[in-house]
Amino acid sequence: MKIVIAGGSIAGLSSALTLGCIGHDVHVYERSEVPLRGKGGGVAVLRHMMKFLEQHGHYTQKMISVPTVMRRRIDINGDVLTEEPEKLPFSSWDTVYRSLCAMLPKHRISYGREVVGFTEHDNAIEIELEGGERISADMLLAADGIGSRTRARLFPHYESRFAGYVAWRGIVDESLFSPREVEELVNNFTMFRDPGHMFMAFLIPGLDGALEPGKRRFNWLWYRNEADVAAMHRHLTDAQGHRHHSSISPGQLSAASFEELCELASRHLPAALQQLVRETRAPFFQSIFDALSPEFSVGRVALIGDAACTVRPHTASGTSKAADDAVALAEALSVHTELHVKDVLALWAANRREAVSRLLEKGPELAASFGLGSIGT
């Protein structure tokens, strides 16, 4: 079949790789003019994504991730409250994305091309690109994220729900600090919690994938309850004055928001964590939303990754869920060859909705246990 994918992030690339491997004619259209370098933060490399990468290339856990040794919770003075062994490997969104890009043939993706519309016919779906070009295909996969424009066209009255808290995030080079300044943070998953907020920090590969000490980066996340919607919207307004739906990418945060972030850090964080915030050159901001599409497929259109549903970041399952979506779709198309494509997509959609239901429940449960969000306040 000829399959068009709207969106060239992790979900879109995973689907293109998997469906291409079983013989389908797949092409990805990504609205960004260039590959999405430097757009994301740290991620936990769970076994599903690692298995996916190893099946499609030669990327092993040691090649793309920094292992942690201990999980530590500290108090406001930096003293250790609890400590236990922790072997979870951490990588970065960039590293996983770059790995996927390296495995996908370059002619399978077009940058600066956005899917802006579609019309379904009896035997095909006609897809419109920005600029007016039209393409006939057998299927459209929407991999265009939590703010999916494809989902909005299918379900114009659906709105995602604000979860009651936000995340400040940042990545900072390990080399900016002396070994003494960060010795308690290196190779540890460090956590600080107080009522209404939680801070986490851990090492990830360098932007170029470097894993050597001194060439890696610290990734940090600071979740904070936010009851003031006006304040949230203020931080979602970038340095050029443009309002964003749910996140501000690295380099877009306004000077006023960065100043407020540093002031909050000086009042609420231990000194070892304050320094990570102060030295971060391009922090970013994310409002935590719950999005669950009314349906995961409609006719010849399927929603994958965050376009279908978002899982809370506490589950550390975003990249693995994207890979699982892709693998499950490829299996459904291979097994149910006797069915019409619409019926295969409907069957896949029902199965994926059931498969992710526990993750969708687990996220709010974890947030509540941390005292975060509308459930935890």
Tell me the per-residue pLDDT of 168-210, one tens digit each, with 9 for 90 and over: 999 999 999 998 999 899 989 999 999 899 999 999 888 777 8
Q: Decide: helix, strand or coil at residue 24.
A: coil
Task: Name residue 369's beta-bridge partners.
Answer: none
Handedness of CA 219, 225, 228, 233 (dihedral sign): positive
- Integer Cα distance of 157 and 87 in angstroms: 44
- pLDDT band, very low/low/confident/very high, at 255 (cuts 50, 70, 90): very high
- Residue 77's CB: how many other CB atoms inside 10 A? 8
pLDDT of 44 higher than 50:
yes
pLDDT of 374 higher than 70:
no
Q: Can you tell me the mean pLDDT for 312-319?
A: 78
Picking from 62, 58, 19, the residue whose alpha carbon sits closest to that of residue 332 is: 19
User: What's the pTM?
Assistant: 0.86
pLDDT of 375 higher than 60:
no
Alpha-carbon distances, residue 191 vs 24, 80, 213 (angstroms): 45, 10, 21
pLDDT of 45 higher than 80:
no
- Integer Cα distance of 43 and 26 in angstroms: 27
pLDDT of 238 higher than 70:
yes
> Quick one: 369 exposed, middle or buried, by C-beta within 10 A (0-12, 13-18, 19+)?
exposed
Domains of the chain: 2-31+112-160+291-376 (3.50.50.60), 61-92+163-289 (3.30.9.60)
Picking from 249, 289, 247, the residue whose alpha carbon sits closest to that of residue 373 is: 289
Mean pLDDT of the chain: 89
Q: Which two tokens stand for residue 163?
A: 């979860």
- Integer Cα distance of 102 and 73 in angstroms: 37
> Quick one: 181 exposed, middle or buried, by C-beta within 10 A (0-12, 13-18, 19+)?
middle
